[in-house]
Amino acid sequence: MSNNNGLKDGPCVTYYFNGQLNFKGNYKDGKREGLCSSYYCVNGQLIYEGNYKDGKEEGPYSSYYYNGQLMQKGSFKEGKREGPWVSYHEDGSVNSEFTCFY
């Protein structure tokens, strides 16, 4: 799981104290690389899922409420939000207060 420099390298899966999946992703030279996902401790629902390149968010990204409902979706370029981002309330309706274009 680490390279010759002691940095994380390769697939990474971590678990909470209760055995529930916490994080699943990949690292390259100590930085997140590729698809990464994080999960809530108690119910195992997805918290977020997004792609990384050289440790920065890159491409589509989604985050979720504890109940599994989509919270926010958009896209990143070199770690910065880019283009349309849509936010949602827990009931699934669009939250126009936090919906915008970057």
| Residue 17 confidence (pLDDT) | 96
Ranges of the chain with pLDDT below 70:
1-2, 4
Distance of CA 1 to the CA centre of its chain: 20
Domain extents in the chain: 10-101
* Helix H or strand E encompassing 53: strand 46-53
User: What distance in Å separates the CA atoms of residue 81 and residue 70, rounded to the nearest whole number?
Assistant: 17
pLDDT, residue 7, reads 86
pLDDT of the residue at 98: 87
pLDDT, position 1: 64
94-102 long-range contacts, CB within 8 A, separation 24+: 98/72, 102/74
Give the pLDDT score at 2: 67
Which CATH number does the domain 10-101 belong to among 3.40.50.620, 3.30.70.360, 3.90.930.1, 3.90.550.10?
3.90.930.1
